[in-house]
Amino acid sequence: MRIPFSVRTLAAGLAAALLAAGAHAQAGQEITFWIRAADAGFVEPLVKTWNDKHANKVALTVIPSDDFVTKFGTAVAGGAAPDVVAIDLIFVPAFAQAGQLSDIGAEAKSLPFAKSLSPSHVRLAMHNGKQYAVPFSAESSFLLYNKALFKRAGLDPNKPPTTMAELEADAKKIAALGGGVKGFYFSGACGGCNIFTMTPYIWASGGDVFSADNKSETLDNPALRNTLAMYRRMWKDGVMPGGVKTDNGSNFISPFFSGKIGMQGTGAFAIGLLKKDHPEIDFGVTPLPGEKGGSSSFAGGDSIAIPVGSKHKKEAWDFITWCLSEEVQVEQFAKNGSIPVRADLADNAYSKQDSRFAMASAAMQTGRTPYSVHFNQLINDPNGPWLAMIQEAVFGKGVDVAIKEGQAKFRQILATP
Amino acid sequence: MLTLIGFKTPRRWAGFFFILPCLAVTTMFFIVPLLMTVWMSLNDWPLLGHPSFSGLKNYADLFQDASFWGSVLFTAKYTLVVTPAIFLFAFSLALLVHRGVRFVGIFRTAYFLPVVIGMTTASLLWTWLFNDQVGIFSAVLMDLGWVDEPVQWLGETNSALASIVVMVLWKAAGFTMVILLVGMQAIPIDLYEAACLDGAGWWAQVRHITIPMMRRTFALALTMSFIGSFLAFEQFFVMTRGGPFNSTITVVHWIYRASFTYFKLGYGAAMSVVLLLMLLVLSGVQLYLLRDEP
């Protein structure tokens, strides 16, 4: 019997609809994920791995690091926030206070490795007793030094400085080599770079930038004065290259690649970068020292959170959990030169291959991180009081004027809600 | 009904309907945002959170904000330096390409090309040209033996300002050149021929014919250049980030900081309104001074 054309057409249409529905069900959800450009190197392969293995897909957006707070803040205000965001841990308190991040405390506590997560990340994710983020990537700060330059300057390359006085003396000896060689480098126009690499000298010397309750400044302390004075002397004595004055962080590590910088503060990312791209540079790492010994580190990196208004909270949490798994922390992060955010994974096959990673991981676990809802305005803002104080102290009128002006501006900002 | 509101003749309301699309666009993209900005300036309006009416508090705080008035002074200084520089340079270029000599089209195009590059792109390009490590300017000076170390072009306030002025000259002079060229080419050629017959040389013709006849064109070019310079932002944001020592922060940069770093949209709106009023007054003065003589 011949089937009528209309029936055949209807059957074909129904079959096509069923196929499309099945394909859609298999395709899963799309989760939007924002990161800052500084993380692109290790997050892009991470997202590709996730997308290759899972039905739910992650659509990654990379935002310029300097503009991340502005772009994320305006997206949140406009109701266009992503499903998942990896944000510098120092900004989490501000967004948590503004009610823009979801409370994921219950989910975080249910993780079997919850107690192994980076304590600094977890502390900064807390607001009014609730937890709004979990660790995503870890960065600790330490002193990077060029062993070849140490040898040329008559210094023992296996005995890096253990006090600030030794650091300054070693830097001067290296700068005396001449030929464009300089003893020390720092990004003098970058607030975030200096909270990362300069503050540990202050902490190791017994001082701090904020009070214990984070509600007031403590800038006028001997440790901070002496740290700024050390930088000023190194600048005046020509121990640093001229470009430090205007470097806004875009040259944070690249001058070291030239092989003409003796020492600089940097983060764990530099270890993998130097090993991969500049194997010709014989480098060492050591903790950032205090005035009379001791050491400290800035425990940094990114936290990962689910903005309020996300329509894929369950899928977002699945992705976050996967990022914290041993598979990712070791085979993606540690293998490519990053530090795991879990203390139980700090000692892994890749960190054992290079003791420098082990030092960076140890610094992460004992490192400190300031907590402030005004962090962006105070510290990271290129026109903010932290950077203005450093620039005035090192390149301008001196330490006393710088601290006095800095205190006034810090207090003005800290007084706002 | 139309008679009641003054449209007595079909011709009048035909005219109204002709300008209605333009009126709609101006209302939607200028008048409404302007009114919204004024309303925001009367509120404590955080980027994240709920606004609350605060009256003139933002304006009261603004008039005591030394940093804002410092940025106004810096912006005025920058405007007073760059506006005449652009004008004189563009006028010289216009005089050069005014006559229809061979290949003049290539020169006109070459002078205008930088205009089509966005200001942010141009700023990024020149930031690297001025860079002490990889920039070409320091490298050339060191190769010539004029300096021993790379020059920190953006490291001091005055050299940073000068560097940005040079960049803006390169980028913007072509646009002013085109405006002035149009004005030049509108001058009747008979005047030049008569002057030639009377024995006037090139410079005499420029002084006594070109410049007086271009008064209105000058007013347009200077007003546009002045307003554009007073609204400078990208070049300082990209090249100096307001440094060194926060000495190159312009008014618009300060508005950006208030709104998107401090998340105080209401305060930023108040700054915007004050800036608008300043520009209205300054533009009015400029146009009055450059008006046609009675």
**What tens digit of pLDDT does each residue of B167-206 get?**
999 999 999 999 999 999 999 989 999 999 999 898 999 9
Facing A392 at nearest CB: one of B131, B241, B245: B245
Residue A25's pLDDT band (boundaries 50, 70, 90)? Answer: very low
| Least confident span in A174-188, A276-290, A345-359, B236-250 | A345-359
Q: By C-alpha distance, which of B251, B289, B287, B288 is closest to B270?
A: B251
Q: By C-alpha distance, which of B167, B177, B165, B169 is closest to B221?
A: B177
Determine if the pTM surpasses 0.90. Answer: no
Inform me whether the pLDDT recorded for B69 exceeds 60: yes
Kindly determine whether residue A388 and residue B246, on different chains, have CB atoms separated by under 8 Å.
yes
Residues 6+ apart with CB under 8 A from A251: A187, A243, B133
Give the distance from residue A77's alpha carbon to the nearest chain B alpha carbon, in angstroms: 6
Other C-beta atoms lying within 10 Å of the C-beta of residue B262: 19
**CA dihedral for B260, B262, B264, B267, sign (positive or negative):** negative
Query: How far apart are the C-alpha atoms of B132 and B223, rounded to whole Å?
Result: 36
A211 touches chain B (CB under 8 A): no
Query: How far apart are the C-alpha atoms of A157 and A153, rounded to whole Å?
Result: 10
Facing A382 at nearest CB: one of B152, B241, B260: B241
Q: Tokens 């948590």 belong to which residue?
A: A96
A395 touches chain B (CB under 8 A): yes
Q: By C-alpha distance, which of A207, A173, A167, A166 is closest to A186?
A: A167
B155 touches chain A (CB under 8 A): yes
A97 touches chain B (CB under 8 A): no
**CA dihedral for B137, B138, B142, B147, sign (positive or negative):** positive
Give the distance from residue B228's alpha carbon to the nearest chain A alpha carbon, in angstroms: 23
Kindly determine whether residue B241 and residue A189, on different chains, have CB atoms separated by under 8 Å.
yes
- Tell me which residues of chain A, numbers 67 to 96, contact chain B at a CB-CB cutoff of 8 Å: 69-70, 73-74, 76-77, 95
B244 touches chain A (CB under 8 A): yes
Residue A335 in contact with residue A63, Cβ under 8 Å? Answer: no
Kindly determine whether residue B260 and residue A74, on different chains, have CB atoms separated by under 8 Å.
yes
- Rounded mean pLDDT of A189-218? 94
Facing A381 at nearest CB: one of B49, B244, B261: B261
Facing B152 at nearest CB: one of A70, A246, A388: A246
Query: How far apart are the C-alpha atoms of A93 and A76, rounded to whole Å?
Result: 15
Give the pLDDT confidence score for residue A361 in this predicted structure: 83
Give the pLDDT confidence score for residue A13 in this predicted structure: 59
B48 touches chain A (CB under 8 A): yes
- Rounded mean pLDDT of A282-295? 95
Beta bridge partners, A283, equal A146
Mean confidence (pLDDT) of chain A: 91
**What tens digit of pLDDT does each residue of A363-391 get?**
887 889 999 999 999 999 999 999 999 99
Query: How far apart are the C-alpha atoms of B100 and B185, rounded to whole Å?
Result: 11
Contacts of A417 in chain B (CB under 8 A): none
Residue B293's pLDDT band (boundaries 50, 70, 90)? Answer: low
Inform me whether the pLDDT recorded for B156 exceeds 70: yes
- Rounded mean pLDDT of B129-157? 90
Give the pLDDT confidence score for residue A374 in this predicted structure: 92
Kindly determine whether residue A74 and residue B244, on different chains, have CB atoms separated by under 8 Å.
no
Query: How far apart are the C-alpha atoms of A158 and A284, rounded to whole Å?
Result: 8
Residue A75 in contact with residue A95, Cβ under 8 Å? Answer: no
Inform me whether the pLDDT recorded for A17 exceeds 60: no
| Least confident span in A257-261, A346-350, A405-409, B196-200 | A346-350
Give the pLDDT confidence score for residue A245 in this predicted structure: 93
Give the pLDDT confidence score for residue A346 in this predicted structure: 83
Residue B231's pLDDT band (boundaries 50, 70, 90)? Answer: very high
Kindly determine whether residue A382 and residue B242, on different chains, have CB atoms separated by under 8 Å.
yes
Q: By C-alpha distance, which of B161, B162, B165 is closest to B173?
A: B165
A290 touches chain B (CB under 8 A): no
Beta bridge partners, A84, equal A33
* Secondary structure in 3-state letters for chain A: CCCCHHHHHHHHHHHHHHHHHHHHHHHCCEEEEEEEHHHHHHHHHHHHHHHHHCCCEEEEEEECHHHHHHHHHHHHHCCCCCCEEEEEHHHHHHHHHCCCECCCHHHHHCCCCHHHECHHHHHHCEECCEECCEEEEEEEEEEEEEHHHHHHCCCCCCCCCCCHHHHHHHHHHHHCCCCCCEEEECCCCCHHHHHHHCHHHHHHCCCCCECCCCCCECCCCHHHHHHHHHHHHHHHCCCCCHHHHCCCCCCCCHHHHCCCEEEEEEECHHHHHHHHHCCCCCEEEECEECCCCCEECEEEEEEEECECCCCCHHHHHHHHHHHCCHHHHHHHHHHHCCECCEHHHCCCCCHHHCHHHHHHHHHHHHCECCCCCCHHHHHHCCCCHHHHHHHHHHHCCCHHHHHHHHHHHHHHHHCCC
Q: How far, rounded to the nearest angstrom, does the alpha carbon of residue B173 sit from its chain's CA centroid?
A: 11
Residue of B nearest to A71 (CA): B260
Facing B260 at nearest CB: one of A70, A98, A255: A70
Other C-beta atoms lying within 10 Å of the C-beta of residue A52: 8
Query: How far apart are the C-alpha atoms of B21 and B2, rounded to whole Å?
Result: 19
B132 touches chain A (CB under 8 A): yes
Kindly determine whether residue A383 and residue B149, on different chains, have CB atoms separated by under 8 Å.
no
Kindly determine whether residue B132 and residue A255, on different chains, have CB atoms separated by under 8 Å.
no
Q: Tokens 């050149």 belong to which residue?
A: B177
Inform me whether the pLDDT recorded for A174 exceeds 90: yes
Query: How far apart are the C-alpha atoms of B30 and B42, rounded to whole Å?
Result: 19
- Rounded mean pLDDT of A239-249? 92
Residue B227's pLDDT band (boundaries 50, 70, 90)? Answer: very high
- Rounded mean pLDDT of A1-24? 58
Pairing of the two strands A84-88 and A299-305:
antiparallel
Kindly determine whether residue A255 and residue B263, on different chains, have CB atoms separated by under 8 Å.
no
B202 touches chain A (CB under 8 A): no
Contacts of A255 in chain B (CB under 8 A): 133
Inform me whether the pLDDT recorded for A210 exceeds 70: yes
Give the distance from residue A243's alpha carbon to the nearest chain B alpha carbon, in angstroms: 6
Give the distance from residue B258's alpha carbon to the nearest chain A alpha carbon, in angstroms: 10
Alpha carbons within 13 angstroms on the beta-carbon side of residue A115 total: 0
Give the pLDDT confidence score for residue A2 in this predicted structure: 61
Length of chain B, in residues:
294
Inform me whether the pLDDT recorded for A301 exceeds 50: yes
Residue A297 in contact with residue A200, Cβ under 8 Å? Answer: yes
**Structural tokens at position A341:** 């955010």
| Chain B interface test: which of A97, A194, A240, A246 (most B C-beta within 10 Å) | A246
Residue B115's pLDDT band (boundaries 50, 70, 90)? Answer: very high
Q: By C-alpha distance, which of A224, A268, A193, A280 is closest to B241?
A: A193
Percentage of chain A modeled with pLDDT above 90: 72
Give the distance from residue A245's alpha carbon to the nearest chain B alpha carbon, in angstroms: 6
Phi then psi for residue B66, to 5 deg, are: -60, -35
Length of chain A, in residues:
417
B154 touches chain A (CB under 8 A): yes
* Secondary structure in 3-state letters for chain B: CCCCCCCCCHHHHHHHHHHHHHHHHHHHHHHHHHHHHHHHHCEECECCCCCEECCCHHHHHHHCCHHHHHHHHHHHHHHHHHHHHHHHHHHHHHHHHHCCCCCHHHHHHHHHHHHHCCHHHHHHHHHHHCCCCCCHHHHHHHHCCCCCCCCCCCCCHHHHHHHHHHHHHHHHHHHHHHHHHHHHHCCCHHHHHHHHHCCCCHHHHHHHHHHHHCHHHHHHHHHHHHHHHHCCCHHHHHHCCCCCCCCCCCHHHHHHHHHHCCCEHHHHHHHHHHHHHHHHHHHHHHHHHCCCCC
Residues 6+ apart with CB under 8 A from A250: none
B61 touches chain A (CB under 8 A): no
A32 touches chain B (CB under 8 A): no
Phi then psi for residue B248, to 5 deg, are: -125, 45
A377 touches chain B (CB under 8 A): yes
A251 touches chain B (CB under 8 A): yes
Facing B257 at nearest CB: one of A189, A383, A391: A383
**How many beta-carbon pairs under 8 angstroms link A with B?**
70
> What are the CA-CA distances from residue A164 to residues A182, A287, B284 (Å)?
17, 11, 60
Give the pLDDT confidence score for residue A123 in this predicted structure: 94
Inform me whether the pLDDT recorded for A177 exceeds 90: yes
